[in-house]
Amino acid sequence: MKQIVLIGAGNVATHLARAIDQSYPRGTLSHIYSRRHSSALELGQQLSYCPVCVDNLQALPTSADLYLFCTPDDSLEALWHTMPATHGGLWAHTAGSVPLDKMMAWHSKCGVLYPLQTLSKARSIDPRELPLYIEGSDEEVAARLESFARSLSGCVYRADSQQRGHLHLAAVLACNFTNHLLALSEDYLKRHDLDPKALYPLVRETMAKAELYNPRSMQTGPAIRGDEETMNRHLELIQEDLLLSQIYRLLSESIRRHSR
Amino acid sequence: MKQIVLIGAGNVATHLARAIDQSYPRGTLSHIYSRRHSSALELGQQLSYCPVCVDNLQALPTSADLYLFCTPDDSLEALWHTMPATHGGLWAHTAGSVPLDKMMAWHSKCGVLYPLQTLSKARSIDPRELPLYIEGSDEEVAARLESFARSLSGCVYRADSQQRGHLHLAAVLACNFTNHLLALSEDYLKRHDLDPKALYPLVRETMAKAELYNPRSMQTGPAIRGDEETMNRHLELIQEDLLLSQIYRLLSESIRRHSR
C-alpha cells in the first residue's frame, strides 16, 4: 500500500492510524476524513506525520490504494452514497455486523478488515496483538487486504460475512453481557456499602481459568451444585429488583440444563 | 497459632494448607482430617512436613489453637455434630454462604475466614493475594482470626454474615454467570466451526477495562446503542435455542434500562 485514506477519526480509526503510522513510511496514510474537521486534526496530530485532514469526501484523492471506512456500522451506507468515484483502489470497512454484499453495491473491489477488540482512544494496545478478520469481494482483494493486515498485526484470520456475524454474536455474549453482569455486581455491592472492586481478584482468576481450560468444566456456584437453599437466599436478597431476579433465575436455569 | 487442625482436603483446604506451611514453623499444622484417608495423605505429602492424617474426627487432638473447617457448605452441620468437644481452641469455617450463628450453636468461640477466590488444587495462586474475609463470635475471636489471616495474606478484610452474603451473591453474578456466558459463547463458536478461544483477547481487554474504569460507562454493543437491526439479526441466528434467545433478550433489556 503506497497511499491509504482513512474515513473516520473515532476509536477504531485511531488505533488503525497508529498501527499504520508504525508500519508504513511517513505520509503513506495521506488523508483523514471526519465529519468534524477538528476530530480528524486531533487524530492526525498524534501521528509522526500529520495527514491532510478534511471534512468533505469530495476533497479526497481518487487514486489511493486503500480507503479504510472506520465509522459506526449504521453510518456506512450514507457515506458510500456520497463518496466520489475512485480508480483502482480498494474499499474496506471495519464493521462486525455489516455483510460485505452491502458494500459491493457501491464499489466492486471491496473487503472487510474487522478488528475483534474493544478499542478506546484513551487506552493503547499493542497492534501486533490486535485480532483482524479479513474478507474480500474476490480472492485477489482478500489476499491484498490480508497482506496489509499482516503488516499491522500478528493475529490475522479470514472470515466470511456469515462467520463474522457468528463472531459478533459470540462477542456480545462473552463481552457485552459479561461486562453488564460486572456492572450489576458493582451496583449491588455499592448499594450495600461494599467495595465495588472487591471481586476483581476472583473475576481475573475466573477469566484466566476459562481461557486456559474449558469454561463449562470450570463452572462453580450454587446453580451447578443444585444448591436450592443458597439460590433461594440470593433471590430473597434481590426480590425487589424484578429484572435482576429474572436474570438470576434464567442464568441459573441455563447453567443447570447445560450441566446435564 | 501454635497448633492448627485442618478439616477437609479439597480445593480450599489445599490452598490454606500450603499458605500455612509457608508462614508457620514445620508441624504447626499438626493434623489433617478427611472422610477419605487417602485425600488427607495426598495433601499432607505436598507440605514440607506431613501432618498426622486421619479419617476419624475422634482421633483429632482436643486442645489445638485453631480448627479450620474447609469442607463443602452443606457438609458443615453434620461435621460439627460429630466433632469431639475441644478446649480453648477456635473453630472457623471458610464457607461463603453459611452464617456464623449456625456455627455458634455448636461452639461458642468461632468465626469465619472466607477466601473470596476460585481455588483449584491444580492451579497455584499467590496466597499473599488471596482475599480473606473475617468474622468472629466476639471481638477477641475476630482479632485473633484477623491476625492469623494477615500472617497468610496481604488482603484481609472484615465482613459480617450479612456482608458475606452480599459478596457471595455478587460473586455469582460476576463470576459464575460470566463464566457460563463464556461457555455459551464457546459452544456457539464451536457449533459454527470457529475457534472457541477466538474471543479471549477481547474478553481480557473487556475485563481489564471494567476493573480500571466503571463497567457501566464501558458498556458497548448493540443493546446500549439501541441497534434493533443487529439485535434482530442475532436473535434470528439463535432462534432455535429458546433458552439462549431468552438470555439474549433479557440481558439486552437490562442493558437498555440501565443506560437511562
Contact between B155 and A201 under an 8 Å Cβ cutoff? The reply is yes
A182 part of contact set with chain B, CB < 8 Å: yes
pLDDT tens profile A3-36: 999 999 999 999 999 999 999 999 999 999 999 9
CATH 1.10.10.10 is right for the domain spanning B164-258? no
Establish whether domains B4-159 and B164-258 are of one fold.
no
B131 part of contact set with chain A, CB < 8 Å: yes
pLDDT tens profile B3-56: 999 999 999 999 999 999 999 999 999 999 999 999 999 999 999 999 999 999
Phi, psi of B33, deg, nearest 5:
-105, 135
Domain ranges for chain A, please list them: 4-159, 164-258
Q: Which three cell numbers stand for residue B106?
A: 455448636
Task: Judge residue A142's burial from the number of C-beta atoms within 10 Å of its C-beta, 0-12 exposed, 13-18 middle, 19 or more buried.
Answer: middle
Min Cα separation B61/chain A (Å): 33
Cβ B174–A222 below 8 Å, yes or no?
no
What is the DSSP code (8-state) at residue A109?
S
What is the DSSP code (8-state) at residue B50?
P
B132, B175, B254, best to mutate vs chain A, most A CBs in 10 Å: B175
B166, B168, B177, B233, best to mutate vs chain A, most A CBs in 10 Å: B177
Cα nearest neighbour of B72 on chain A: A225
In single-letter form, the type of residue at position A225 comes to R
What's the gap between Cα B107 and its chain centre? 24
At B242, is the secondary structure helix, strand, or coil?
helix
Residue A19 has a pLDDT of 97
Instruction: Give whole-number Cα distances, B62 to A121, B21, B58, B65, B229, in Å.
Output: 62, 21, 9, 9, 68
B47-76 per-residue burial string, b: 16 or more CB within 10 A, e: under 16? beebbbbbeebeebeeebbbbbbbbebeeb
pLDDT tens profile B77-135: 999 999 999 998 999 999 988 999 999 999 999 999 999 999 988 899 999 999 999 99
CA distance B103 to B99: 8
Return the axis-axis angle of helices A161-171 and B228-237, rounded to nearest 10°: 100
- Residues whose CB is less than 8 angstroms from the CB of residue A139 and which lie 6 or more positions away in sequence, other chains included: none
Instruction: Give whole-number Cα distances, A35 to A79, A111, B1, B55, in Å.
Output: 10, 23, 69, 74
Of A166, A189, A206, the CB nearest to B118: A206
- Show residues of chain B in contact with A181, CB under 8 Å: 173-174, 177-178, 181
- Mean of the pLDDT values across residues A226-244? 94
- Show residues of chain A in contact with B135, CB under 8 Å: none
DSSP line for A16-83: HHHHHHHHS-TTSEEEEE-SSHHHHHHHHTTSSSPPEEES-GGGS-S--SEEEE-S-GGGHHHHHHHP
CA distance B33 to B251: 44
Strands (E), chain A: 4-7, 29-33, 52-54, 66-69, 90-93, 110-115, 132-136, 156-158
Q: Which three cell numbers stand for residue A3?
A: 497511499
Min Cα separation A231/chain B (Å): 9
pLDDT tens profile A205-229: 999 999 999 999 999 999 998 989 8
- Show residues of chain B in contact with A206, CB under 8 Å: 118, 175, 178-179
- Mean of the pLDDT values across residues B71-77? 90
CATH of domain B4-159: 3.40.50.720
> Does the interface ipTM go beyond 0.90?
yes
Of A117, A172, A227, the CB nearest to B222: A172
